[in-house]
């Protein structure tokens, strides 16, 4: 995953905790999760439509 190991991920989480605070991190995590989910859905729909067009 982008060449990130456990130490790098922990460092990013600690920096995020310092910048945003403990109260905001769950909200940021939820928003990021929703955004990734929507992106994944859109990507799957796009690839599904382009595959269907190619078979005709």
Using alpha carbons, list the distances in angstroms from residue 41 to 35, 36, 37, 52. Answer: 10, 9, 6, 16
* pLDDT value at residue 53: 58
Where does the pLDDT of residue 31 fall: very low under 50, low under 70, confident under 90, or very high at 90 and above? very high
**Number of domains present in the structure of the chain:** 1
Print the domain residue range for 50. Answer: 18-54
Q: What is the dihedral of CA 39, 42, 44, 30, to 10 degrees?
A: 30
pTM metric for this prediction: 0.57
Whole-angstrom distance, CA of residue 37 vs CA of residue 44: 11
Structural domain includes residue 30:
yes
Whole-angstrom distance, CA of residue 55 vs CA of residue 50: 9
Structural domain includes residue 38:
yes
Structural domain includes residue 32:
yes
């Amino acid at each position: 995953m982008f060449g990130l190991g456990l130490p790098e991920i922990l460092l990013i989480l600690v920096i995020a905790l310092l910048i945003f605070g403990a109260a905001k991190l769950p909200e940021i995590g939820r928003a990021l999760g929703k955004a990734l989910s929507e992106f994944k859905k859109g990507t799957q729909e796009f690839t599904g439509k382009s595959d269907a067009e190619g078979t005709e």
